[in-house]
Each structure stands twice: as C-alpha cells, then as structure tokens.
A and B are shown apart, each in its own frame.
Chain A
Amino acid sequence: MRIEVQTSELRSAAARVAADAALLESLLVVARLDSAAASMPGTELAAAAHLAADGLRAALALVRRQMAACGGQLDAAAVAYELTDSGAVTRSQ
C-alpha cells in the first residue's frame, strides 16, 4: 500500500482545526439566544428560544469536541509520520 503525506501540511491542518474549534468556543451564539429569550419573558417564543439555545449548546459542544479530537489526531499522525521519516514522506508497504 502506498502512502503519501506532507507532514508540515498535516500539522498546519491540525492547527487550523484546533483553532476553529477554539473559535466556535468563543462565539456567544448560545448566550445571544438566551438573551433574546430573557427579553421576552412569559412568551412561548422565550421558552422555544431557551430550547433552541439548549439544542445549540449541545450541538456546538459536540462539534467542538470532535474538531478538537480531529485536530489532535491529525497532529498525532504527523508526529508518527515524522518519527518514521522526516519531511516529505513517501513510503511503500
């Protein structure tokens, strides 16, 4: 089996995915929905907005975790390839 990989690019991709995960973490999107709900106390819409905020919180957390994990795995793969070879790797198995 033939594997071709640019480990520098792999590291860069890992860093990018991790940074994106952090960016998602920094967004106030859930807080904004909660804030909108708090601005309309007593309405059905407020209850639904809280529900949407909960759903969004869960979905964002899941994606963030998966992105962080993916970034970590990419980085780990790059390290593994570098231990096997240095720089650009072209291996045949």
Chain B
Amino acid sequence: MALTVDVVTRCALDEVDSAGWSLRADADSIHRVSAGLPCLAADWAGVAGDAASARVGELRLAAQAIADFVVACAQVLSIAVTGLRPARDALDRAGRSAADLGLGMDQDGSVLLPPVAPVAAPPGDCGLAAFELERARFAAAAGALAHAALAEAGEVDFIAAAALRRFVAALRICTPVERSAALAFAVVGGSPLPLVPRSFSNPLDVAAWWSVLPAAARLLLLERQPDQLGNLDGMPAEVRHAANSSVLARELAAADIVLAREQSPDGLPRGAAVAASRRRAMLLAVRRQLATDPAARLLTLDFADGGLAAVALGDVDVTTDVAVVVPGLNQDVTGDLPALVADARSLRDTARALERDAALSGDIATVAWIGYRTPNLLTVASSHRAQVGGLRLASFSSGLDASREIHRMLQAASMPALHLSLVGHSYGSLAVGYAMQKAPPVDDLVLLGSPGVGVDSALQLTGRKDNVFVGEARGDPVADLGWFGRDPSSTGFGARQLQTDGGQDPLTGVPLAASYGHSDYLTAGSESLRNIAAVTIDAPRLATYSD
C-alpha cells in the first residue's frame, strides 16, 4: 500500500511511542503475574496436587507468552516510530518549504512549478529570474525529499506491519518453545538493512534517501557497506569520507596480507603480487594526503579505471563556495594526487586571502578530482575518456549540490545555495565541457590551457556567456590547438579572458607573477591563480581580464 503525504504527516508518533512504553510496563506486570503464580508442589502431594501443579505451570507459560508478545509489539512500535519520524519530519519540512515558495505538494510528494509565478519576489532578492531559479531548485529538492520520505515511510510501515502479523501468528502456536522461537524470529526478521541506491542514481534522490533514514540504519550501513556509500553522489561529504576511510584502511590491510604471502614459500602468482603492490601504492598516496591535512576529506575512492580519488579541502556541504579542479593528460592517483591536492590548496588559500582582502563573507572548499581515467599520449587525441569523465563529473557536481540542497531544506534554510565552480585544466577542460552537456548545477566554469571543450561557444556550455572564463598563458602550445571544437580563448567563443601575464594585485598592490607554458596556471602568487580564485568565490569583478 503506497502511503500518501497526509497519511504520514498525520501519524501521531508521540502517541504511538507513548503506547509502546506503556505496553512495556504492562508486559512487566504480566511477567510478574507469571512469575508469581503459586508453586503447589510443596503444599500438595498426590495425584490431584500433581495435576494442579501442571495446570498452574501451563498458565504460567501462557502468561509468559502473552508478556513476550506484548514486549515484541512494543519493540515494533518503537522501531516504527524511529523509522517513521525522520520521514514524517522530512515531509513536514518539504511541505513547508514548498508552501513558503507558493507551491503545493501532491499526495504522492510531487511538487509542481506553476507556469507563471503567482508570488512576488521577496524583498532584497536580486530579481524575479533569480527567485524563479531558486524556486525551481527548492521545488526539485522538496520533491525528491518528499518522494524519499514516502518511500522510506512505506518501507518502515510494511516491515513493521509484517512483523506484527508474524507475532500474531506466533501467538497462536501452542508449544511454548516454538512460540518463543517464532517470536524471536519475528523480531530479527523485521529489521533488514535498507537497500542502498545504485551508483549514478539521481543524486537528489540519494541525498533525500539518506536524510530520511533513521540514525541506527545509517550507522549500520556505514559499518557494513561502506563500499556502497563512499562514492555515491548525493551523500553528505562526512559520510563519504567516513566510508572511504574505512575502505582505505581495510584495503591497505588486505594488500599487506596479499604481499606477505608473496614472501611465503608457496608464493603468489606474479600478476596478483603486482596488482596488490599497485593498489597498495595508490592507497598509501591517498592516505598521505589525508594525514597531512586535517581539513582533507576523501570524497571518492574507487579502484575502477586504474584507481580514482577525489580529495576535498574544507567542508563541501557547508562552505559558500566549492571549486572542483579537474586535471588533464597523464594524471593518476598514485603519482599525481599530491600535486593536484597542492594545486587545490593553493587555490583555496588564495581565494580565502582574496575574501579577506575584499572584506567578503563566506568560505571556500576545493576538490582535487581525479574522478576519471585521464588520457595518455596515445589516447589524448580521442575525446572518449573526456566523455566518460564528463558523465562522472556531472554526477559528482550534482551530488555536491543535492547534498547541500537537502541539508538546507532540513536543517539550515538560512544557508545560501551552493556556488559551484569547475576548473578544468587541459584535457580536463574537455571533460568539463562534456559534463556541462548533462546540465549539472554549476555556476561558473574556468577553462585553463584548453584544447577545446566539445562545443563552439560559451553559450552552449552554460546558456550564458558571463560565467565561462578562460585562461591562456604565454607559451602554452595546447591552449591554441582547438582539437575539440573552437579554441575557447578565441574571441568568437565568447568566454571572458582571464589575465595571466602578471601585474599588481588591484586590491593590495602586491606583485603577481606571470604564468608561462601549459602547467603554470595554479602556481601560488600568480595573477592567473588570483583570477581563478576570484571566479570561484563568486567575485569575478575582482579578476583582471585581457579581453
């Protein structure tokens, strides 16, 4: 039976909870009755006495069974309340958020945007278009949250009802031992692990699903199935980090065990030893990054495609701004993650300094993202890996936004929406271009030393021209190749051209270095890095331009 919004929101869970506790007290009374029934054997010897003792013994067991039944019912009610409460609260919150924005919610949890906005933009907003955009985002988040809440509530309802029916069946079993076993089975059978969404599910659905799970179920999943949670886009960053850290420790230990076998007399097949050795090297590279920075969070740890990892610096679920740095040619986790994390750290430090210099509020987290198999010299002429990377990057970006939106809706409505930037370097900018074909909720793009992004104009990337920024350093041979569509640094492409030649910081007067060649865009102290930072903190007016 599919539950409706009204059915779930009208559940008086406090009363159900209270009934559960009262049932426990009743069960104690029945237990006392059972235990207190007289033992006649001492006072009445003989045939009639034996028969009376047996009869009282049967009554004792019958009362005991009823007490057990009542306890089991109370347990189910408590489990149901624990499971239904987050779902009901989420539905309440989603319904209120929708109502605040002048939107209604269907009984199946759908939130529909009316074709014409019937409400005025709130005071202080930057305009009706922005308000409508915000409203559409909230509507999508509210709808996803409501659907997840209804699904979870339906699951809890089904499981709890099935358990109660099993109890009733058990109560009818005559033999006390069998009845006791049946009751025990009914309790155990009523608490299965929740089903984890598949990889690349809609991140908003994932975020909503997780938010309505009871705390106990979350902990259980984190303990038993970290592999399924760590790379799931839409999950909160802290959960991804905890899950991936757990997998990291486990896999390192496993690799050590495999390699130890290599030393034993019977040895290991050579292929297995090489694979274990490679995996161990990759895991150690990741672990070193986590160990050197307490702000580092492991958002991706995947052994597919030769090993993938994404390390965030800062809390991507909370900071105002998030920038994802996407690398290009010949980047792998084992050899290149440290340098990419260093780039992400330089970007973060520069952005935070710029915020201070410009007296801006907010904070930024950056992500070193090796979330796709980057090409080597033999495969770089093909766009295939960028297409695969683009799909993953779009999902990852949507996941960051989805987690934030659901968090805002449930806990911190005053928190601003996420300002998300993608910074693609070289072939990574092509991956960014393909990601944008999936229309992820990205606010700004920065394309550095780009050989093309798969389209011929900035407008085709984001639907706007003012949020696509290009950096081209002197002496960068890749930036003018135009292998994958029109050169993004050409005038006809329509992107804003960031200055990279060096100069003075307009705010502080501090000299800024010029960038040269293909790999100098994120160098600390450069004009290029400062300008990229300005874009990522949503202050492009602070950047310097060459167009």
Residues of chain A at the chain B interface (Cβ within 8 Å): 1-6, 9-10, 12-13, 16-17, 20, 23-24, 27-29, 32-33, 35-36, 39-45, 47-49, 51-52, 55-56, 59-60, 62-63, 66-67, 70, 73-74, 77
Task: A17-B56, A36-B20, A48-B165 given; name 16 further pairs at CB < 8 Å.
Answer: A3-B45, A10-B43, A20-B33, A29-B70, A41-B7, A42-B3, A42-B6, A43-B11, A44-B157, A48-B164, A52-B73, A55-B172, A56-B70, A63-B59, A63-B63, A74-B52
Q: How many A-B residue pairs have CB under 8 A?
A: 155
Bitwise, B475-486 to A at CB < 8 A (1) or not (0) is: 000000000000
Q: Which of B39-79 contact A (CB under 8 A)?
A: 40, 43-49, 52, 55-56, 58-59, 62-63, 65-66, 69-70, 73, 77
- On whether the beta carbons of B59 and A23 are closer than 8 Å, the reply is no
Within 8 A of A (CB), among B1-42: 1, 3-4, 6-7, 10-13, 15-16, 19-20, 22-23, 26-27, 29-30, 33, 36-38, 40
B residues near A35, Cβ cutoff 8 Å: 15, 19
Distance in Å from the Cβ of A22 to the closest Cβ of chain B? Answer: 10
Q: How far is the CA of A70 from the CA of B48 in the complex (A)?
A: 13
Interface check B168, CB cutoff 8 A: yes
- Contact between A51 and B7, CB atoms less than 8 A apart: no
By secondary structure, the A interface counts as: helix
Query: Do B44 and A24 have beta carbons less than 8 Å apart?
Result: no
Give the residue of A33, A42, A66, A74 whose beta carbon is less than 8 angstroms from that of B23.
A33
Q: Which residue of B lies closest to A67 (CB)?
A: B59
Across the interface, do B46 and A4 meet the contact criterion of CB distance under 8 Å? yes
Could you tell me which B residues sit within 8 Å of A by CB distance?
1, 3-4, 6-7, 10-13, 15-16, 19-20, 22-23, 26-27, 29-30, 33, 36-38, 40, 43-49, 52, 55-56, 58-59, 62-63, 65-66, 69-70, 73, 77, 80, 157-158, 160-162, 164-165, 167-168, 171-172
Taking a contact as CB atoms under 8 Å apart, the answer to whether A42 and B7 are in contact is yes
Report chain A residues within 8 Å CB of B27.
29
Instruction: Evaluate whether A56 and B52 lie within 8 angstroms (CB atoms) in the complex, with A32-B23, A39-B12 already known.
Output: no
Interface centre among B11, B20, B47, B59 (most CB of A within 10 A): B59
Contact check: which of B11, B37, B73 meets A20 at CB < 8 Å?
B37
The answer to whether B62 touches A39, judged by C-beta atoms less than 8 angstroms apart, is no
A60-B4 Cα distance, complex, nearest whole Å: 35
Contact of B168 among A12, A29, A52, A70 (CB under 8 A): A52
Cβ of B80 and Cβ of A45 under 8 Å apart? yes
B59 & A5 in contact (Cβ 8 Å cutoff): no
- A-B residue pairs, 5 tightest by C-beta: A44-B161, A3-B46, A48-B164, A13-B38, A42-B7
> Could you name 12 residue pairs across A and B whose Cβ atoms are closer than 8 Å?
A3-B48, A10-B43, A20-B36, A23-B29, A32-B23, A35-B15, A39-B19, A40-B11, A42-B10, A44-B158, A52-B168, A60-B66
Q: Measured between alpha carbons, how far is A49 from B158 in the docked complex, in Å?
A: 12
Closest-CB distance, B66 to chain A (whole angstroms): 6
Residues in B with CB closer than 8 Å to A1 are 46-47
Residue from A2, A47, A56 in contact with B46 in the complex, judged by beta carbons closer than 8 Å: A2
Chain A residues near B37 (CB, 8 Å)?
A: 16-17, 20
Bound Cα distance from A20 to B63, whole angstroms: 10
**A5 lies within 8 A of B29 (CB):** no
Q: Is the CB of B164 within 8 A of A45?
A: yes
**Residue contact B43 to A6, C-beta cutoff 8 Å:** yes
Instruction: Give chain B nearest CB distance to A8 CB in angstroms.
Output: 9
Residue of B with least CB distance to A3: B46
A35 to B74, CA, bound (A): 13
In the complex, A16→B33 CA distance in Å?
A: 9
Could you tell me the dominant secondary structure of chain B's interface residues?
helix
Q: Chain A residues near B52 (CB, 8 Å)?
A: 70, 73-74, 77
Taking CB atoms, residues of chain A closer than 8 Å to B1 are 43-44
Contacts of A6 on B, CB cut-off 8 Å?
43-44
- Taking the nearest CB of chain B, how far is it from the CB of A28, in angstroms? 7
Q: Which residues of A contact B11 (CB under 8 A)?
A: 39-40, 43
Most buried by A among B1, B6, B16: B16
Residues of chain B within 8 A (CB-CB) of A29 are 23, 26-27, 30, 70
**Which B residues lie within 8 Å of A39 (CB)?**
11-13, 15-16, 19
Q: How far is the CA of A74 from the CA of B90 in the complex (A)?
A: 59
Assess whether A52 is in contact with B47, with CB atoms less than 8 Å apart: no
| C-alpha gap A33/B16 in the complex (Å) | 9
With A5-B45, A56-B70 in contact, is A49–B164 under 8 Å at CB? yes
Whether the Cβ atoms of A63 and B66 lie closer than 8 Å is yes
Report B-chain residues with C-beta under 8 Å of the C-beta of A16: 36-38
Answer whether A59 and B161 are a contact pair too, CB < 8 Å, given A39-B15, A40-B16: no
Q: What is the distance, in angstroms, from B215's C-beta to the closest C-beta of chain A?
A: 20
Q: How far is the CA of A13 from the CA of B165 in the complex (A)?
A: 36
Closest to A5 in B: B44
Q: Which residues of B contact A52 (CB under 8 A)?
A: 69, 73, 164, 167-168
A45 and B161 contact, CB distance less than 8 A: yes
Question: Most chain-B Cβ atoms within 10 A of its Cβ — which of A24, A36, A56, A67?
Answer: A36
Contacts A20-B37, A40-B11, A77-B52: A48 and B160 contacting too (C-beta < 8 A)? Answer: yes
> Is A28 a contact of B13 with CB atoms below 8 Å?
no
Q: Which residues of B contact A45 (CB under 8 A)?
A: 80, 157, 160-161, 164
Taken together as a complex, chains A and B put the C-alpha atoms of A29 and B73 apart, in Å, by 11
With A and B bound together, what is the CA distance between A42 and B88 in angstroms? 14
Task: Give A6 to B52 CA distance when docked, in angstroms.
Answer: 14
**Residues of A close to B165: CB separation below 8 A:** 48, 51
Is there an interface contact between B26 and A63, defined as CB atoms closer than 8 Å? Answer: no
Taking a contact as CB atoms under 8 Å apart, the answer to whether A55 and B59 are in contact is no
**Complex CA–CA separation, A42 to B160 (angstroms):** 14
